[in-house]
Amino acid sequence: MNRLARKNLLLLGGALILLIANTVIFMPDGQEIFVQERCNTCHRFRGQGGAAGPDLTNVGKRRGALWLTRQIRNAKTHNPDSRMPSYDHLGVLEVCALISYLKS
């Protein structure tokens, strides 16, 4: 391998490590978002929460990550008459954190 290729590989490795570290360090807390965004006022999860929406205790087993992402971002994609608000202001990491919380 020539010097340039080695240097590029090193840069790429460094960038990858930074990306992973960044995601781990700044990964938001799904449980916190669930409460902050008031999901718990409508949904029961593991014995706690409201009843305007379905109990989410086992939703992580019934639904895939893509389905859950769509439901959270815009519930009307699954049910045009849905009373669940759209959470399209949430970032990718926040939605990921919510889903991993629901699947935990």
- Chain contacts with ligand HEC (rule: CB under 6 A): 37-39, 41-43, 52-54, 56, 59, 63, 68, 71-72, 75, 78-79, 82-85, 87, 98
**Can you say whether residue 58 is alpha, beta or left, with left for phi > 0 and alpha for psi between -120 and 50 degrees?**
alpha
Which residue's CB is nearer to ligand HEC, number 23 or number 79?
79
Check: CB of residue 52 under 8 Å from CB of residue 39: no
In whole angstroms, how far apart are CA 37 and each of 1, 61, 64?
Answer: 52, 22, 21
Q: At its nearest, how many Å lie between ligand HEC and the CB of residue 64?
A: 11
**Whole-angstrom distance, CA of residue 39 vs CA of residue 62:** 18
Nearer to ligand HEC, 8 or 79 (CB): 79
* Minimum gap (Å) between residue 25 Cβ and ligand HEC: 23
Instruction: Work out how close the CB of 89 gets to ligand HEC at its nearest, in angstroms, rounded to a whole number.
Output: 10
Shortest distance in whole angstroms from residue 7 CB to ligand HEC: 45
